[in-house]
Structure 1
Amino acid sequence: MFDATESRLFALPPGVDFPAALVAGLRARMQGKPPEAMARVTLYLNTTRMRRRVVQIFGTHGAGFLPRIRLVSDLAADMVVPDLPPAIPALRRKLQLTVLIGRLLDTLPDLAPRSALTDLAESLAALMSEMQGEGVGPDRVAALDVSDHSEHWARTREFLTIITPFFTDAEEPDSEGRQRRLALLLSDLWAASPPRDPVIVAGSTGSRGTTALFMQAVSRLPQGAIVLPGYDFDMPGLVWAGLDDALTSEDHPQYRFHRLMGLMGATPHDVRLWHDAAPPSAARNRVVSLALRPAPVTDQWLVEGPDLPELSAAMQDVTLMESATPRQEALSIALILREAAERGTPAALISPDRVLTRQVAAALDRWNIRPDDSAGIPLNQTAPGRFLRHVARLFGHKLTSDALLTVLKHPLTASAMDRGQHLLLTRDLELKLRRDGPAFPTGPDLIAWAGAHSNAHAVGWATALAGALDGLEDAGSLPLTGHIARLRRLAERLSRGPAPEGTGELWKEAPGEKALEFVTGLEAEAVHGGDLSPGEFRDLLDGLISGEEVRAPMIAHPGVMIWGTLEARVQGADLVILAGLNDGTWPALPPPDPWLNRRMRLDAGLLLPERRIGLSAHDFQQAVAAPRVVLSRALRNAEAETVPSRWINRLTNLMDGLPDRNGPEALSQMRARGKTWLDLAAAMDRPLPAPDAGLIPATRPAPRPPLAARPTALSLTRIEVLIRDPYAIYADKVLNLRPLDPIRQTPDARDRGTVVHTILERFVRERPPEETRDTARARLLALTADVLEDQVPWPAARALWAARMERAADHFLTIDAAEGGQSVLVEGRGELALQGLTFTLFGTPDRIDLLPGGKLHLIDYKTGSPPSDKEQKSFAKQLHLAALLAEEGGFRGLGPQQVAKITYVGLGSAGKVTEDEITPEKLEGVRDGLYHLIGSYARLGQGYTSRRAVFTERFPGDYDHLARFGEWEMTDKPDPQDVGTGDTP
């Protein structure tokens, strides 16, 4: 098949359909030979998708023999090697390394937090795999000179010596280590007895040491050949010679070929065309080749740029699409793929950004187009994957309301029963937890709530739930076997709900089957995982499950594909969209290496971080040579402006600098073609005007309900709301709408105020006679600890609020003893019916003292700043109105009594106190103002205006969204409107 005197190093240029040209070249070389000769050819390919497409292309030529098709990643597919033990499962190795690193962090806690345990194990497993693939042993790492490095790297080098047992022949090898041993074994075997039939390696760049070793062995065979993908035949020899330095050339797309040729003793002149198939645009290939030259020789743009072909023609099938946002980018790409599907044009989206590709798939779903996605769905984003992660987070701490509701609302929870009843009870429980708590519900809390519920199913449902969740807080460190057993047991129990047996829908369909396979595999290897805390187990589970993918069976559109960057070599699409072309995404930033820095990697003979960039550059160079290409990026993401990919920068800079070759004009044409799609996407996203109302914004509401529907009683504190934001009173008292508390209750100012008032109420009520100041202070702090322990379930809040009360204790005791009064009413309710109006004012002042002169002193405690004199005159009328109640005899047991003064006591850090003397004239003004305010709302013409006198733009209104604040301004006039049925003005 091959002439032994000629080079058997072949290649195909970028843009050529590699599988099709590979098969065509192989069939051409087999012309005139018997049909069975093809069956004696062994063909090693780089990916499963490449193998699938090669088989498909052979099938288009009719019946005939196929070559033996293998993968370079599975050299032992048809070999029996009894002396070589099977590869250790990757999961077992990660678990072993987790234990090993955990011991390291116990001795060197400053090396990394234990929360990084899983990530460190993952990165160390990758390092070990790379070391075995590149033939680098621990002894070479131990011999590295770290005298001019920081102490961190010296300690890391010492730590890496303890992984030596994993590299011995007696130890079970990793998959990469076993692969290298197989490559060495084949090399020795072929050296002694080379096969006579052709052996071809096609589609691989030889970027990994094991693959390069195997390709060298094949190249030495009498009938061995290498077919390289995406080889740049346009690059001059001077540039090839300049790729010797890995530190400056590793990120170049052709560097891997240069390195491979060096290992084989070949030169670029030895590389021959495998087949004469022409690339879609040889002129575009020349432009891209020059644009991607290594940085040290980009000065050649000035020399070779003028020799490029006319750029408008060369780039006529390239579109540059620069979207404003990732959403616009995804929608524009979806529109391009939709048009391609309608025209019957095979189209592929290539991007390493999985978020973007999922957004594109979601956008295509509106037209019932399901792309053939080669990556599948990450298991951690499927329903079973999310469910397992939620359940794992229940262990080791108090159950919070949001964690409980997250699990209850998951579609797999109680999936063995009628979910209608389950969802109904879940909704009722959520309302209870939001309004009344507790912040940390327990089993008895759930059963007590169910006992008072009218639904006959509530008790059984809550009892089953309480039994499943019992004891989660007490979960401590366990062996991994215990963690995974407990996780599976609880997940299955929650999935079946109150049903007596079964696992519900948890393990059903493709995602459930994959989740069960994952859990079963983890159970089988858990014995190697050591002891973990609940938090460490959660991190481990998250790390492991994120690496699993589900490929659910589906009927995909045959002409719309989503590929990863590696699959750019497969080709077969007439239209290729390269998306996410921003620095940090494509190419991706090299992952941080906690074990070896860049120089140590080079000295040890390992791959540099730039290798990933170089591979991405090679994928880009192949994909951009497709018949029609769209280059897409978003100008900004959710956080900030983005930086264009270095390849986009190089290409646009080269074209901008060649006006004689119409570079700027060609670039403008590329952007114009992209803008067409961006405009279509913007038009799709533009909201349509309502058919009747048009785009008229809402007016400032001032609803006027019937008099019978208006409130007939308000508390002292709600009078302030009626002054500042009457619409809130309308929504609360007329519409009966209440703002829901957040699902996850956290300590806020309202909780602190309630706790402080409870402490001070008990302090005054339980005051013993003739108490000294020191005794009073000790009693106040003891009461604080008691109330906090009883009413505040958050440990951090308890500690913080106790410290604040201790700081405020002396200030409070000084104010408490200043007037020498005697407390006659603490948190006592008072009422006042307004004469001539069907309205009752009620309220509960914090404290009323009887002064030695026989007058009353009203006191109100504020955990924040007390209201200023100006605020009291305008809207903060709480204590002034309470004084009116006292003088009118509104407090039972006190009778009508004169008020001497009111005092707001601030218990914050400033300790501010605001006092006001009460005079008959001042009290008369308060009375008149109250009657005027309430009387105005007793008239039909008075509407409840939204934000009538909030006095500050940042006033936190609970009902602003209902009033559609933002569609109108504070300077807009109210728009009174009659609502409801009843009286008319």
Structure 2
Amino acid sequence: MMSAPPISHPADIRWSALTEQIGQRLKSRSVDASRALVLVPYAQLMDSGRRAWAQAHPSGFSPRFESSRNWAASLQPFLPSINDLSGDVARDSLVAASLIDRVGRGRVAPALRPVLVARLVDAARQLGPLAAARPPEARADWAGQMREAMATGGQTLQWEALVASLALAWTSSSVYATDVLWTPLAAPGVAFDDLLVLQGFQPDPLATALAALWGDRVTVLPLHPPTEAWPIASLHACHDAQDEAQRAAACVISLANAGRTPVALVANDRVLVRQVSAQLHGAGLSVRDETGWKLSTTHAAARLMSLLRAADPRARTDDLLDFLQQTRVWPEAQLQSLERRARSLGLAQAASALRHPQLVGSVPLGLPELIAALQAPRPLSQWLPDLAQTLRSCGWWDEWCSDAAGQQIVQTLRLSDGASHELAVLEQGLQEDATEAMRRRKPHMSLAAFTAWVRDALEGASFMAPNTGTPDVVILPMAQLLGRSFAATVAPGCDERHLPASPEPPGAWTPQERSALGLPQREDLALAARQAWEMLIRLPEVHLLWRTQEQGEAVLPSPWVLMLDTAQDGAALAATIDPRERRRLTPEAVVRPGPSSGDLLPEALSASAYQDLRDCPYRFFALRQLRLQDADELEVEPDKRDMGIWLHAVLKLFHEERAQAQAEGAAPDARSDRERIDRLARSTAEHMGLNALSADDGATEGRAGFLPFQAAWPAVCDGYLDWLWKFEASGDRAGPRFAQAELSLRSEAGPYRLIGTLDRVDHQDSPEGVIPFVIDYKTEPRDTTRNRVKAPLEDTQIAYYAALLPEETVRAAYLSVTESRDAGATLLVEQTQVIAARDALREGLVRDLDRVAAGHGMPALGEGKVCDFCAARGLCRKDFWTVT
């Protein structure tokens, strides 16, 4: 016979001792090994126990190594009844909602109901193991004793007391899959003569109860060995979470390259471990995740939730676009057109985008019908086949057939043909158990309620990616390292937040309630955490990692790490060499760009475009020649720019209507002017969707963010009307008078075309004829407006507007409109040298554009405020230029 390999791993040593103890127990009781049952704390230890027994006893029969749930499943299949706690959130949330409705009797607010349902399910899942550890016939008495004990524990809040009472009643009246272990099928001496219970860090209530039932036929053995000397662990103090994830992945990869597999990756921080797992997959390692992650975090679940969010009548356009970008049913070009036009129109509401007349050609065929089909309330049993049909229409159903997460979603939500019958029966049973008032209400579920149910079901389900073959890396909780043999262990997240010495007890139970119910106390959880830690650091080749800061705040190592450092006689906390491979990168200098593109001149030039050329040639190149523009935001609150657009529109309509009234013989007066401008201000704001609900045609949307501007409107209105009356009263028949607003003009400067829109043009009589008076409204700070006219040759806008007019003699001014209640809230700031500025601008514009057309460079010359809010700053990379 070949000798067995030497045993060196602590788990192997412990299993060797356990198998010897089990053998001696069976021998002393003259029990055949095949008639013995060994209960392990969790299912992954069943194979470990079988291998350890086979190695110690290569011939003969073996005891059965089972977890309590596996043992129960092998004896009898389980099908929960209507009101049973099943562990399936999709079912349990419906039962919990029914219990809340029955007991609340209409006192529960609709907004509070989902919160109470979620808390009731969570509380019931915590009490479930305690109830299952009592024989079915004794649960009613147990519940009564628990209720009395909780009543003497002090006063609790109304809703917390309701949840606790319902959870206790629900769990004590439920039937569990493990109830078969209390029947004659699992009685001592029927299938097994001896029961051996391997106990983990925390005692299992059911295993403890079964041990009491079996009496002298049971043996309880601790699975974890006594504390031994601590070996030296590799300690890694990382800078932040990203650094920690990279270093943890590097540790695992270096161990795998050295042949030390499988490697155990401890999931102290699930978010961090997900990042590490992604890096390991990228390195080609096979990873088995035994902790799983929420089904709701998978790509398939994100797709499903995007569909339900888009179908909501209050959905934002961003929600609709998010859904469309994940489908392949409609042409990509059509979706891009829809997004571009919706952004240009500022349609933040999806309903407005689907109905807007300018988007008719861009809305994908069948999309409005698909969205509308999911908005009507209906029973859950009807929701499920309708949702399945919608998934087929989106093209996702066939994709999910080859996607493990998609298949689990179909199974969890009962979306396959005929699967919804289970929930239909459940709905009917709950309806029959309901009160008469509840039975009179139709059991219809709104889209919002159905979306909440889907979200809860996906949040409560755990997804584990399928694995084949022997993994290189196994992700697992720290406590499940117990009894398992790994070549090396990497444990990130060993900081004070993710690995505290005293873990926070789960649930909303008070310490008195936890004590009365038999739930683990904080001290019990702390002891179990300490035992798990002591087991971890006795393992061979252990790497412990933690971050020293998170989001700018300092983070300390876990107290266990600090104690470990002391126990190792000062073996440095951060003395381990960084396992990441280092690469030498040669920096490349980023120089100031200076492109040239003489063949990309715009067909026409606006004032703002020429201002860009004067401010920074590269900005003109990027934004005007290449036509690179930021995408318009959909979700934006009204700002000063919106106020300016609104004010321009109000003043245009005001003066046009006022001029029409004067032409019809009505003399202007203060009262009619104020009534007119107030009326136009309200109607314009409603039309622009700034202060009202959407219009019937869906073209406008409501925005509460405009309220501050509405509050400032009285001061703006008073200031403007005061100026207007004085402006008109100070002149004679030859003075300026309103002629036109929002006047679009075209002009020529050499071979180049100029375009622009003038806010307002007045006419002034003179001996030479009518002189146009250009007035440009400004809502900027008053000092900014005054500074514009101090250097006539530097101010582009007013000179450019004068250049658009065919007349040689013009006047031009800025009209500063502010909300100040002091005198001069509206002030006319005239550019007295506008003709000279206009002529200089025409000459300079032709010269500048001739240079651009000739291919001269377009360097990035902007400075100061020009660069602060420049859309092309990231393109010219000014922040990374090399200074020479």
TM interval, shorter chain, is 0.7 to 0.9
What CA distance in whole angstroms lies between the structure 2 residues aligned with 1:435 and 1:444?
Answer: 11
Which of 366, 373, 377 aligns to 1:464? It is 366
What CA distance in whole angstroms lies between the structure 2 residues aligned with 1:406 and 1:81?
Answer: 43
Q: CA deviation at 1:147?
A: 9.1
Which of 73, 89, 96 aligns to 2:86? It is 89
Contact 1:777 1:810 in 2 (8 A): no
Deviations along 1:737-766, one digit per CA (max 9) or x if unpaired, are: 233224666655545543443333223223
State the one-letter code of the partner of 1:884: A
Q: Which residue of 2 aligns with 1:944?
A: 858
Is 1:719 the equivalent of 2:621?
A: no
Which aligned pairs between 1:472-621 and structure 2 lie closer than 5 A? 475=375, 479-481=379-381, 483-495=383-395, 503-520=397-414, 523=420, 524-525=422-423, 527=427, 533-587=446-500, 595-609=508-522, 611-621=524-534
Is 1:67 the equivalent of 2:63?
A: yes
Q: Which residue of 1 aligns with 2:847?
A: 935
Is 1:728 the equivalent of 2:619?
A: yes
What CA distance in whole angstroms lies between the structure 1 residues aligned with 2:75 and 2:101?
Answer: 38
Q: Which residue of 2 aligns with 1:137?
A: 143
Give the stretch that moved more between structures: 63-72 or 75-84.
75-84
State the one-letter code of the partner of 2:206: T
Which aligned pairs between 1:698-709 and structure 2 lie closer than 5 A? 698-706=590-598, 708-709=599-600
What CA distance in whole angstroms lies between the structure 2 residues aligned with 1:422 and 1:639?
Answer: 45
Contact 1:507 1:513 in 2 (8 A): yes
Q: CA deviation at 1:385?
A: 1.6
Is 1:776 the equivalent of 2:776?
A: no
Q: Which residue of 2 aligns with 1:739?
A: 630
State the one-letter code of the partner of 2:462: E
What CA distance in whole angstroms lies between the structure 1 residues aligned with 2:270 and 2:821?
Answer: 50
Q: CA deviation at 1:631?
A: 1.3
Structure 1 unmatched ranges of 5 or more: 1-11, 235-281, 285-313, 454-458, 497-502, 656-662, 974-985
Shift in alpha-carbon separation, 1:446–1:111, aligned structure 2, 3 A: closer
Shift in alpha-carbon separation, 1:571–1:826, aligned structure 2, 3 A: same
Shift in alpha-carbon separation, 1:725–1:588, aligned structure 2, 3 A: farther
Which of 189, 194, 198 aligns to 1:198? It is 194
What CA distance in whole angstroms lies between the structure 2 residues aligned with 1:124 and 1:199?
Answer: 31
Which of 37, 40, 45 aligns to 2:35? It is 40
What CA distance in whole angstroms lies between the structure 2 residues aligned with 1:555 and 1:435?
Answer: 50
Which of 223, 245, 263 aligns to 1:330? It is 245
Q: CA deviation at 1:515?
A: 1.2
Shift in alpha-carbon separation, 1:153–1:63, aligned structure 2, 3 A: same
Shift in alpha-carbon separation, 1:868–1:611, aligned structure 2, 3 A: farther
Contact 1:319 1:629 in 2 (8 A): yes
What CA distance in whole angstroms lies between the structure 2 residues aligned with 1:785 and 1:448?
Answer: 20
Shift in alpha-carbon separation, 1:838–1:20, aligned structure 2, 3 A: farther
State the one-letter code of the partner of 2:574: R
Contact 1:792 1:798 in 2 (8 A): no
What CA distance in whole angstroms lies between the structure 1 residues aligned with 2:610 and 2:130?
Answer: 75
Q: Which residue of 2 aligns with 1:885?
A: 803
Q: CA deviation at 1:534?
A: 3.8
What CA distance in whole angstroms lies between the structure 2 residues aligned with 1:110 and 1:83?
Answer: 33
What CA distance in whole angstroms lies between the structure 1 residues aligned with 2:385 and 2:724?
Answer: 59
Which aligned pairs between 1:393-408 and structure 2 lie closer than 5 A? 393-408=309-324
Q: CA deviation at 1:830?
A: 2.7
Deviations along 1:794-826, one digit per CA (max 9) or x if unpaired, are: 443466655554563333433443412532111
Shift in alpha-carbon separation, 1:164–1:813, aligned structure 2, 3 A: same
Q: CA deviation at 1:323?
A: 1.5
What CA distance in whole angstroms lies between the structure 1 residues aligned with 2:486 and 2:719?
Answer: 79
Structure 2 unmatched ranges of 5 or more: 1-7, 135-141, 432-442, 690-694, 729-735
Q: CA deviation at 1:80?
A: 6.2
Q: Which residue of 2 aligns with 1:388?
A: 304
Contact 1:863 1:908 in 2 (8 A): no
What CA distance in whole angstroms lies between the structure 2 residues aligned with 1:28 and 1:876?
Answer: 100
Which of 49, 52, 55 aligns to 2:47? It is 52
Q: CA deviation at 1:387?
A: 1.6
Partner-residue secondary structure (3-state), 1:622: helix
Q: Which residue of 1 aligns with 2:704?
A: 796
Is 1:339 the equivalent of 2:254?
A: yes
Contact 2:799 2:834 in 1 (8 A): no
What CA distance in whole angstroms lies between the structure 1 residues aligned with 2:9 and 2:592?
Answer: 67
Contact 1:713 1:842 in 2 (8 A): yes
Shift in alpha-carbon separation, 1:428–1:612, aligned structure 2, 3 A: farther
Q: CA deviation at 1:488?
A: 3.3
Which aligned pairs between 1:440-459 and structure 2 lie closer than 5 A? 440-441=349-350, 445=354
What CA distance in whole angstroms lies between the structure 2 residues aligned with 1:885 and 1:115?
Answer: 65
State the one-letter code of the partner of 1:695: P
Q: CA deviation at 1:435?
A: 4.2
Q: Which residue of 1 aligns with 2:271?
A: 355
Contact 2:719 2:825 in 1 (8 A): no
Which of 210, 219, 225 aligns to 1:225? It is 219
Give the stretch that moved more between structures: 136-145 or 355-364.
136-145
Contact 2:489 2:539 in 1 (8 A): yes
Q: CA deviation at 1:941?
A: 8.2
Report the TM-score when normalising by structure 1: 0.73
What CA distance in whole angstroms lies between the structure 2 residues aligned with 1:100 and 1:908?
Answer: 60
Contact 1:118 1:540 in 2 (8 A): no
Is 1:905 the equivalent of 2:797?
A: no
Which aligned pairs between 1:87-236 and structure 2 lie closer than 5 A? 88-90=85-87, 91=89, 92-101=91-100, 113=112, 116-117=115-116, 119-129=118-128, 132=131, 137=143, 140-141=146-147, 144=150, 153=157, 156-157=160-161, 160-162=164-166, 165-166=169-170, 171-173=173-175, 175=176, 179=178, 197-218=193-214, 220-221=215-216, 223-232=217-226, 234=227
Which of 861, 865, 868 aligns to 2:785? It is 868
Shift in alpha-carbon separation, 1:849–1:509, aligned structure 2, 3 A: same
Partner-residue secondary structure (3-state), 2:520: coil
Contact 2:774 2:802 in 1 (8 A): no
> How many residue pairs are counted as aligned between the two chains?
814
Partner-residue secondary structure (3-state), 2:310: coil
What CA distance in whole angstroms lies between the structure 2 residues aligned with 1:611 and 1:636?
Answer: 30
What CA distance in whole angstroms lies between the structure 2 residues aligned with 1:595 and 1:83?
Answer: 30
Shift in alpha-carbon separation, 1:402–1:896, aligned structure 2, 3 A: same
What CA distance in whole angstroms lies between the structure 1 residues aligned with 2:714 and 2:377?
Answer: 37
State the one-letter code of the partner of 1:491: L
Contact 2:128 2:171 in 1 (8 A): no
Shift in alpha-carbon separation, 1:735–1:597, aligned structure 2, 3 A: same
Q: Which residue of 1 aligns with 2:876?
A: 963
What CA distance in whole angstroms lies between the structure 2 residues aligned with 1:492 and 1:45?
Answer: 44
Contact 1:361 1:370 in 2 (8 A): no
Deviations along 1:490-536, one digit per CA (max 9) or x if unpaired, are: 3332226xxxxxx4323444222211101108943372596655444
Shift in alpha-carbon separation, 1:783–1:166, aligned structure 2, 3 A: closer
Q: Which residue of 1 aligns with 2:756?
A: 843
RMSD of Structure 2 on Structure 1 (CA): 4.2
Shift in alpha-carbon separation, 1:901–1:384, aligned structure 2, 3 A: closer
